[in-house]
A and B are shown apart, each in its own frame.
Chain A
Amino acid sequence: MALGELSTSYAGRKGPLFWMALRTGALTVASAGLYRFWMKTRLRRYFWSAVRPGGVPLEYVGNPWEKLLGFLFAVVLMAFYIGVVNLILMFLSFSLFQTNTYAYVLSFIGVLPLLFFARYRARRYILARTRWRGVRFGLEPGAWGYAWRAAAHWLATLLTLGIYWPRKAFFLEKYLTDRTHFGDTPLHQGGRWTMLIGAMKHLYFGVGLSGVVVAVAVVADQPRWLWPLAVTLPWALWGLAYWRAEAFRRLTSAKEIAGAHLTSQARPRAVLGIYVGGYLLTVLVVAAGMTAFLFVFGFVVGGIFGAEGVFQALGSELGGENGGAGGPGTGSVPGAGLPFWIATLYGIVAYFSSFLFWSAAKHAYVTLPLARHFAETLEIRDAQSLTRVRQRGRDEFAEAEGFADALDVGAAL
């Protein structure tokens, strides 16, 4: 089986993924967030198994229980930090500066290295639980090294108003890639950071010109001078898609493992199409889902309270005998004549449903098509040497991605 070149196929389908995301999301809400460890595990299994380099699916073997334990572990440590440190910062900020801005800024800066630390740990956990052809991936320990380097690079990026971005992106990607292993074999990120400058060009122009337009309009106090934004903002969006595809393509094509080379043919136009079309479809699905929800809720409430309850609701809205200066619950909530708890229930369920529809539709119409595009344009050349890769030991990793989960970074999917 000396195949020199492996192309990647993609097996994910929108429908099954949408329903899986909707179902597991509903269970997560119903369990006050507890099920999210299972939801994440199941969605990752689906996303991973959809990517098939050389026809063999990737596999995610993470376990929801270890995620739960890791999260609890992180909570014990983080609760102290977040609670006490935030309180002291809030106190100092109001005592010394009479505003909470400093507290928010300081609290954010204080938690920043922790965010990078958590992100690295989460990546290490996810790689340790990813397999291809039965062989584990892995990431060497090095979270603190990553944290301070990432903090420094982000600082430089902020200070240069984003001009430094390609260097930061390259440096951090190289740090991660050079510590990534497939089995016993390390990956290597080749190339130089300068190769990413070209990938940034449309973002530089789009965002930079938008900034200039806003600055000029503000300084001159002429809101009408904002019209060039109609050109520069779409340019910035194109820049985002261009960066996403080009940076991935250039970085991936400079990656190498044991003599095998990765190549990517990711196309900015395809990414832009997915952004625009995918988010449009997502919005439509949310609208359709919420309309369906309104009808179902109306029928259920009508069924329980019968015609009488519905008439009461109508009566109080028209006649106002129950309305006027009443207590809470007689505001502008639909079904104002119904008991307070029904209006509350309606509000809560509607609120969560809209989020559920949004995240499920986004998985199906944005995340999946993006994954499909990046997968299908990925090839491995000189792949025969990969057959020499040996298995690596299991990375036990007691805390799983607990920190990232507690801080809500990096471990999204």
Chain B
Amino acid sequence: MSGSATPWGGTAAKAPRQPDGFADFADGTGAALKRVGLRLYPAMAPDRLLLTLPDGRELAWPLEDLRRLPDQAHEDSLVLTSAADPLARLYLNDPRLAGRIGAHVPADSLWSGPRPPLARILKWGLGAVASVALIIFLLVPVMADQLARFLPAEGERALGDATFEQIRRVLDDTGTPLAICELPAGVAAVDAMVARLNPRFDDLPYPVRVSVLDHDLLNAFTLPGGRIILFRGLIDAAESPDEVAGVLAHEIGHAVNRDPTRDALRSAGSIGVLGLLFGDFAGGTAVLFLANSLINARYSQQAEAAADAYAHDLMRAAGLSPAALGTMFVRLREQYGEASGLVAHFAAHPALSQRIEASLAAARDIAPGPPALNADQWQDMRGICGGSLAARLGRILGK
């Protein structure tokens, strides 16, 4: 060895020209680094980068084979490899030399690495999608339907209570759970309406519990365990107590058919799977929530039709016209327009027109009795959230 100026020592005579610079070289067989001399455009092969090893051997890398490692932290230096010798590494720490040689490296160097055959990606992708779809749309629903039948009444009620708290929290923008409306007179009116409908308790192992939530949404839903939730927006929009009674009867139908229990078990199974699929990028819970409500927001058409049919029976038995349920559907359609777009997907029920017709058909041969609530009770129900003008104004200004 004769020092760093001619690291290849005695073989210097073989090199007719001084090298353009030096770099560290790892040949990919071991962890020993070799100091190599580099020459661009050697006379005998101008399209190559000539590496002169310490022992005098020479490697000639074709310039078009040069590859730059991407996304490197150090901006002045360069790490190169060769397509023909992908394990070897050349570490150029001299910024001037790195710049000169870097100018010859093809631009589309190692970016994302070699792509496996497209067929294999497709096969795996389809396999994953198919198995997830099978689980979410077939296995979990079938199991949920079976298990819902065997869930004891206390279990259903607990499931409903847990879900109720979650929903109250989700629906409110301010961070505190949404208020439950429970002015005593209003609660008495709600109880009177339930009593008038007189759901057959051999259909349900537990009494129906109705809560009104202080929210503008024109909607109502049922949770496991006979827990029915009406939004104030629905009571505000109804023009007669019979219309609210119709919705209530429909929701009781869902409770009797155990639709909410099935739904809750279904989402317990599918939400974890969706979490798997999307990963937790940027707090993926929002995507999860969106995706899950798209899957589970509504019951099937059959479930809705069955709940409607139950409601018609219940109303007729109570001396109320099932047509009131249809009237409520008309208001729903007016409120949310011709069911279209994202809003419709979350808020509207499918095939409303058919269901309106069905309620009219059920009302054809009935001679209705008195309305579901008398005038005073109806006022009390409309005021269940604190219905005075002052309270209403305060609520609007508060927003």
A residues less than 8 Å from B31 (CB atoms): 132-135, 182-183, 386-390
Would A391 and B162 count as touching, CB distance under 8 A?
no
Q: Which of B87, B139, B279 contacts A405, CB < 8 Å?
A: B279
Q: Nearest residue in A to B269 (C-beta to C-beta)?
A: A87
**Any chain A CB within 8 A of the CB of B364?**
no
**Any chain A CB within 8 A of the CB of B238?**
no
CA distance A351 to B277 in the complex (A): 20
Pick the interface stretch among A89-97, A161-169, A281-289: A89-97
Contacting A at CB under 8 A, from B148-164, are: 150-152, 154-159, 162
Pick the interface stretch among A35-43, A117-125, A151-159, A214-222: A35-43
**Any chain A CB within 8 A of the CB of B369?**
no
A134 and B113 contact, Cβ closer than 8 Å, known pairs A72-B125, A355-B282, A387-B32: no
CA distance A340 to B124 in the complex (A): 39
Interface size class of B (residues with CB under 8 A): 35 or more
B residues less than 8 Å from A183 (CB atoms): 30-31
CA distance A100 to B166 in the complex (A): 13
A56 and B91 contact, Cβ closer than 8 Å, known pairs A63-B114, A324-B396, A344-B342: yes
Contacting B at CB under 8 A, from A28-54, are: 28-29, 32-33, 36, 38, 41-43, 45-47, 49-50, 52
Would A332 and B399 count as touching, CB distance under 8 A?
yes
Q: Which of A41, A73, A327 contacts B112, CB < 8 Å?
A: A41
B94-124 vs A, Cβ < 8 Å mask (1 yes, 0 no): 0000000000000000001111100011001
**Any chain B CB within 8 A of the CB of A280?**
no
Contacting B at CB under 8 A, from A377-410, are: 386-391, 405-406, 408
**Any chain A CB within 8 A of the CB of B71?**
yes
A residues less than 8 Å from B27 (CB atoms): 134
**Any chain A CB within 8 A of the CB of B89?**
yes
Distance (Å) between the CB of B69 and the closest chain A CB? 7
Would B216 and A326 count as touching, CB distance under 8 A?
yes
Q: Which of A95, A99, A391 contacts B150, CB < 8 Å?
A: A95
Q: Nearest residue in B to A86 (C-beta to C-beta)?
A: B272
A33 and B89 contact, Cβ closer than 8 Å, known pairs A66-B116, A390-B30: no
Q: Nearest residue in B to A9 (C-beta to C-beta)?
A: B74
Would B399 and A63 count as touching, CB distance under 8 A?
no
Apart from A45-B71, A56-B26, A79-B276, 8 more pairs, CB < 8 Å: A49-B72, A65-B114, A69-B121, A75-B276, A135-B28, A135-B31, A351-B283, A387-B30
A residues adjacent to B (C-beta < 8 A): 1, 11-13, 16-17, 20, 25, 28-29, 32-33, 36, 38, 41-43, 45-47, 49-50, 52, 55-57, 59, 61-66, 68-69, 72-73, 75-76, 78-80, 82-84, 86-88, 90-91, 94-96, 98-100, 103, 131-135, 182-183, 320, 323-333, 340-341, 344, 348, 351-352, 355-356, 359, 386-391, 405-406, 408
List 28 contacting pairs A-B, 8 Å CB cutoff, sorted by A: A13-B73, A16-B75, A17-B73, A29-B281, A57-B73, A68-B121, A69-B124, A79-B273, A80-B131, A80-B139, A82-B273, A86-B269, A91-B265, A98-B155, A133-B32, A135-B28, A325-B233, A325-B236, A327-B217, A329-B343, A332-B173, A332-B174, A341-B341, A356-B282, A390-B31, A391-B28, A391-B29, A391-B87
